[in-house]
Structure 1
Amino acid sequence: MADPLIMNEPLPDLLRGIAQCATCGVEYDAAAVPAVCPVCADERQYLPPDGVQRWHDPTAGDAGVDVVELEDRLFALRVDGGVGIGQEAKLLVTDDGNVMVDVPAAITAAAVAEVAGLGPLRAIIPSHPHMFGLQTAWSAALGGAPVWIARADAQWLGRTPAGIHLWDGEEKVRPGVVAVQLGGHFPGSAVVHWDGGDHRGVLLSGDTIAPNPDGRTATFMYSYPNRIPLSGHVALRVADGAARFAFDRLYGNFSGAILGDAREAVLASAARHAAWTRGEHDDLTGPAGMCG
């Protein structure tokens, strides 16, 4: 691969031809935008309250992107302003090239330069369609890194990356970095496991497994904004799939994280989720759940 910072074209030129849904921030071909964003029309997301579809021009430059170190060799890309749902992409820095997990719904020349300065980007892996963001622009700006799209979720693409890599199941991304599709939130919903700088393991979970605000537990949902839970059976299946790996920390696709004993927390959280969905704790819910 060539030098990681391509930018042979100015950033605004790379963004021409792209339109973003103003609600979810997912990119589409500007010349063929649908009447309604399919990602938002799906029950896992939502249309604007007034029902009016709005499109955003990413060349407007109305958002910033900060690159923040979370731990040794792991960075977050945090967006300030702009459109979309505000996801926080993660960047793994390895001796064999870097991996972006999930994609910001904004891009700036300064952020591209900072990411490039951390080393060559070898893969961009959105965990699921809500995280597509401006993935074709990030790929083009950073050396044409392949964008890994779960084959099961490719139907949601509104713009096809030049370097698309369709994948299934489990693949080694770089030495010490493995991507695996656990399903649940979307059929192809994926997590990325990294050995970590301390070799204790880190799981980048998107919202296949979402860390809760308490920092000690996780949740398993079909739709997060619309509060549709996965069944207990699927939650256990997803957790067991993740638990094949050793990991001490877990980072979601927003600012949430579990910063210790994360593997055990995921398994315990799935067991709790399953117990509640089976009705084992209905006695705790008030008069309607009591017998007699």
Structure 2
Amino acid sequence: MKKYICTTCGVQYTESACEPERCPICEEERQYVNPGGQSWTTHEELVESGNYKNIITKEEEGLYSITTTPKIGIGQTAYLVAGDGFNILWDCITFLDDETIAFIRSLGGIDAIALSHPHYYSRQADWSEVFDAPIYIHRDDSEWIMEPSEYIQPWEGEEKSLGNGLNLHRLGGHFKGGAVLHWRNGGDGKGVLLSGDIIQVVADTRWVSFMYSYPNLIPLPASKVEKMALKVQPLSFNRLYNAFHKVVKENAHHAVQRSAERYIKAVNGELFNT
């Protein structure tokens, strides 16, 4: 019996005697099946290969990024907010080795894990078992849990307080339960927003954007982006980190609002004439 991992999205499935026939996450239009065909691996194979390593970077006081190289699956970055006696892992990655475990434990371990959306569920169940930490996923996305765990605690509604100035906010958009993490005390007290790719930092990092499907370039309707911007508007934050190690370093709150305005004008045909 093995826990198989989809090589395209990096999500691990419940233990089984043979490889799953399909990956529902990748078959859905917000992801994709590898053109070469569905393929699987296991965490044991990844570790035994000796090819992978997690790069842990201190981004600012109390915030660490964790990225696997070479990339596994989608290649997202997880973030550890550490300090004040409460550590939270924001989003998750597939690879977890002894070196990573030791480093995180040196910071006090993990008290909670929270996810922005299903593409980053990866090996969340194993991470939670290692650190004995609950997993917070919005109930609207519970159908995408491919490896059930007693540690998963679905939350409902538009906001969930985790304490220590940390709050989850459901924005929807990319996924119905798509969430962001507001770290009120981060960024030297000016606030930090950890957005996964519910809000995506673009090439010009003074701006962000929004999408239903990123790999397949399916946009969100203007009405949804307007609602997302309204939900973020009351939050105080100066910096924003996305899931791919891109950062809006300052004036991030304004960047989100003006980016939403630009997006809405674009999809309504008011931004350009080509």
**With structure 2 as the length reference, what TM-score do the two structures score?**
0.94
Partner of 1:166: 154
Partners in 2 of 1:161 and 1:254 — Cα distance?
26
More strand by proportion, 1 or 2?
1
Q: Equivalent residues in 2 for 1:104-183 (5 A)? A: 104-142=93-131, 144-168=132-156, 169-183=158-172
Worse-superposed segment, 232-241 or 250-259: 232-241
Of 43, 56, 59, 2:41 maps to 56
Partners in 1 of 2:129 and 2:257 — Cα distance?
39
Structure 1: gaps of 5 or more residues: 1-15, 286-292
Q: Is the 8 A contact 2:207 2:259 kept in 1?
A: yes
Partners in 1 of 2:13 and 2:40 — Cα distance?
9
Identity of aligned residues (%): 37
Partners in 2 of 1:229 and 1:116 — Cα distance?
40
- Could you list the runs of 4 or more consecutive aligned residues of structure 1 that deviate by over 3 angstroms after TM superposition? none
**1:271 aligned to 2:261?**
yes
User: Which structure has the bigger radius of gyration?
Assistant: 1
Partner of 1:290: none
Amino acid at match of 1:48: N
Partner of 1:21: 6
Structure 1 residues 146-168: Cα deviation after superposition (integer angstroms, max 9, x where no partner): 01111010111110123111101
Structure 1 residues 95-114: Cα deviation after superposition (integer angstroms, max 9, x where no partner): 13100011012111100111
Partners in 2 of 1:264 and 1:128 — Cα distance?
24
Q: Is the 8 A contact 2:57 2:64 kept in 1?
A: yes
Q: Is the 8 A contact 1:82 1:106 kept in 2?
A: no
Structure 2: gaps of 5 or more residues: none
**1:103 aligned to 2:103?**
no
Q: Is the 8 A contact 1:151 1:188 kept in 2?
A: yes
Partners in 2 of 1:192 and 1:276 — Cα distance?
27
Partners in 2 of 1:245 and 1:58 — Cα distance?
38
Structure 1 residues 199-241: Cα deviation after superposition (integer angstroms, max 9, x where no partner): 1000000111001121100000001111111111111211221
Worse-superposed segment, 24-33 or 240-249: 24-33
Partners in 1 of 2:12 and 2:173 — Cα distance?
23
- How many residues are treated as equivalent by the alignment? 267
**1:186 aligned to 2:175?**
yes
Partner of 1:6: none
Q: Is the 8 A contact 2:9 2:74 kept in 1?
A: yes
